[in-house]
Amino acid sequence: MSQTQSPSGFTLNPPPALAPADLVTAFTDVVTPHISDNLDRLPGITGLQRYHAGRKLVGTAFTVKVRPGDNLLIYKALMQLQPGHVLVVDGGGELVNALIGELILQYAQQRGCVGFVIDGAIRDSAAFYKADFPCYARGVSHRGPYKTGPGSLNVPVSIAGQVVQPGDLVVGDEDGVVTFPVAQAPALLDAARRSATKEAAVMAEIATGRVDQSWLTATLAPFGLL
């Protein structure tokens, strides 16, 4: 990834390549807990709220780092977004000034952006719910942003403590957001599917109504709790 010439205080790297379409499609049927479990329950973004009705988020991270409360570089990012990108913004978790709102939502939709992950505040929150446009953010503020910079495009960012690289695959649902390198995706997909199969077997056993069940025994027995 080559860095373009830019004014002092700005780093402008080109958009990351999009994740393969077959992987994006495959992860639309995978829940974030199964992904998280197979990432050793350590990575993953926590602390953000969902501000849309329920549409699944799967796409490629287009990362932006901004000064808290300033969205100048988000404007620049909007013009470079490609269909399938997720706008991932490190706003330092600040909640005083919103970084995005309804106007940015509408423009991003036209550009083919598939969702927002914002470590900061948004406004016009009802518009995100009405559009059911995937949006995860730290909170809401009626106060608008400043537009003076500095900032960076497509650099590693920290979202609620999770490092997200440009080009990472982003998956979000009602339980939150996870991100991971595309190279890791095929193995992670297989592991998540095995987790789903295992849970289905446990649910079938629960449905029998028996008190003694193998999944409980396997957890309790090593501690002498049977």
CATH number of the domain residue 136 falls in: 3.50.30.40
Burial 80-98 (b: 16+ CB within 10 A, else e): ebeebbbbbbbbebbbebb
- Would you say residue 2 has pLDDT above 60? no
Claim to verify: residue 202 and residue 91 sit in the same structural domain:
no
Claim to verify: residue 209 and residue 144 sit in the same structural domain:
no
Task: Give domain status of residue 4, yes or no.
Answer: no
Task: Give domain status of residue 100, yes or no.
Answer: yes
Claim to verify: residue 111 and residue 204 sit in the same structural domain:
no
Domain that holds residue 78: 10-181
Claim to verify: residue 159 and residue 60 sit in the same structural domain:
yes
pLDDT tens, position by position, 6-43: 667 899 999 999 999 999 999 999 999 999 999 999 88
Mean pLDDT, residues 193-205:
97
List helix spans (H) across the chain: 21-27, 32-37, 72-78, 102-111, 125-131, 185-206, 214-220
Task: Give domain status of residue 219, yes or no.
Answer: yes
Claim to verify: residue 139 and residue 194 sit in the same structural domain:
no
Task: Give domain status of residue 1, yes or no.
Answer: no
pLDDT tens, position by position, 105-138: 999 999 999 999 999 999 999 999 999 999 999 9
